[in-house]
Structure 1
Amino acid sequence: MNRSDIGRIRMANEDRSWAGLTDGGLTVAIVADGMGGHQAGDVASQLAVDAFREEVESAAAGMTEEEARELLRRAIRKANEVVFDMASRNEQYHNMGTTVVAALFVEEQRLIVGHIGDSRAYRISEGGITLLTEDHTLVNELVRSGQISYEEAAHHPRRNVLTRALGTDSETELELQALPWAAGDILLLCSDGLSGMVSDEDIRSTISAEGSSLEEKAESLIQQALAAGGDDNITVVLLQSGSGTDGEE
């Protein structure tokens, strides 16, 4: 299921998401967090989600892992082409772009995740919470090179500067990985409006709480991000193995 909130500061919601089953029964999800002036960010994220969805909607379940990787790669490449083309042809959309994090389930044991930017994917299981993606940000590069600490990164004034985005160039580098998946695991895709405001441990405890539905867990995460300040748009997609969903934000 997916939920999105404008937050307490922004004048528009530039996040877009979709989660559901393709016509062929494949479970797919995507979150895009747009950027650009004069509402170009919401144009970029909507174009990206629409192009991605169009590319995957006829895909059938039962494909091999390699076929699934190629499908995800092709869908995100198509989204990049569409956003870049619109930005190139319209001055008001010049330099617009978007993050993207997307996932699809292959059989019951494997998960394919692709991302560009700082929207994240997490796996929550009995063993705890695992961040599956690595932020494509200037601050993360500084952490990796040892110039600043992880704690300093959380409050760095340039923590939102991306080193990679979808739609800003004719070609963009996608990070793609195949991961193991177990029954009962929950996948979280989110924009940085959640991950930048709510700690990984609070995310884990909320999603692991017994007796609440995925909808209630997602709503609780949104409310925690708002209570922490709601500095950005907040988008949450939760998927559990064996529980396909549909719907749009």
Structure 2
Amino acid sequence: MQLQTASVSEVGGRSRNEDAYGQWRHGTLFASVVADGAGGHGGGDAASRIAVDTVIAELTRVASAGVALTGLNLLRVLLRANDAIIDAQEHDRERSQMRSTAVLLGIDETAGVAAWAHCGDTRLYCFRRGATVVQTQDHSLVQSMIDANLLDTRDVRGHPRRNVLFSALGTAEDLSIAASEEPFLIAEGDAFLLCTDGFWEYLDESLMIDAIGRAQTPAVWLDLMVAQLREAARPNQDNFTASAVWIGDAAGATVLLSAD
């Protein structure tokens, strides 16, 4: 089994990029993480960087101890990132309100399984044979409205309170982190996408799937989606970050990108 990967992270219409991403490998174990920070005085970019750096360091620790990349263990990794952000808040009063969303994908190539965990509205998708087989559910006001049948999923991207979150890393109380419960058997041709809300806001799932059919590599897939995003985005668009992971034989060498 071979993984093809690519990532993109851009400032958009903002003055500062508060997103971060990273990829990690230990033998036949692989992980990808994307984070979206928030907070004044540079707190957003600090929070997302702390989240990514802590996740990568913690993955190395647990892998060295022989711990499997299950959903529960990835949840624990994000809890460590939460602790690290809180610790940084306590040492810098100007950044006491910094937060970060995050999504983490882990793949065990030997076992042929994937797992994930996430907090906030940074999402993970898995597309298979032209269909969405996995989509994480945001910890947000609009998602709660959807769950209560008060809002249709088609109206999420344009809702005026779409950015109201119920959970983010850097929270001492009422923190919610969701994780996959069962091992997810991966298959040749699966396409995973991890992305911040600045990315998925302008691209519905049908566009993501259509772009897969026109791409030969994950890098081209991201390029096609970014082109559509730029056409649809507003002048003050948010930062956007996405990491793509394809399961299958690569046309070229696999490239693992470090945190931006």
Specify whether residues 149 and 70 from structure 1 end up closer, same or farther in structure 2 by C-alpha distance, changes over 3 A only. Answer: closer
2:70 aligns with one of 58, 65, 68: 68
Matching residue of 2:15: 11
The 5 A counterparts of 1:1-249 are: 1-7=6-12, 9-22=13-26, 24-58=27-61, 60=63, 68-106=70-108, 107-169=110-172, 172-177=175-180, 178=182, 179-210=184-215, 212-229=216-233, 231-241=237-247, 245-248=255-258, 249=260
Q: Give yes or no for contact 1:19–1:30 (8 Å, CA) kept in 2.
A: yes
1:227, distance to aligned residue in structure 2 (A): 1.8
Return the alpha-carbon distance in structure 2 between the equivalents of residues 246 and 57 of structure 1: 16
Q: 1:236 to 1:32 in 2, by over 3 A?
A: same
- Deviations along 1:211-232, one digit per CA (max 9) or x if unpaired, are x221121122222212211511
State the shift of 1:103 in Å. 0.7
Measured in 1, the distance between the counterparts of 2:82 and 2:33 equals 14
Percent of matched pairs sharing the same residue: 28
Structure 2: runs of 5+ lacking an equivalent: 1-5
Higher mean displacement: 114-123 or 221-230:
221-230
Aligned length: 244
Is the 8 Å Cα contact of residues 9 and 19 (structure 2) preserved in structure 1?
yes
* Contact 1:19–1:237 (8 Å) recurs in 2: no
Say if 1:108 and 1:218 are closer, same or farther in 2 by CA, change over 3 A.
farther
Structure 1: segments with no counterpart, 5+ residues: none
Give 3-state SS (helix, strand or coil) of 1:41's partner.
Answer: helix
> 2:3 maps to which residue?
none
Q: Against the structure 1 CA distance between its residues 70 and 95, is the aligned structure 2 distance closer, same or farther, given a 3 Å change threshold?
A: same
Cα shift readout 1:132-178 (whole Å, capped 9, x = no counterpart): 20011011111211222223332211101111111122673221104
Amino acid at match of 1:232: D
TM-score normalized by the length of structure 2: 0.86
SS of 1:75's partner is: helix
Change (3 A) 1:33 1:90: same
CA distance in 2, matches of 1:225, 1:130: 23
The CA deviation at 1:70 is 4.4
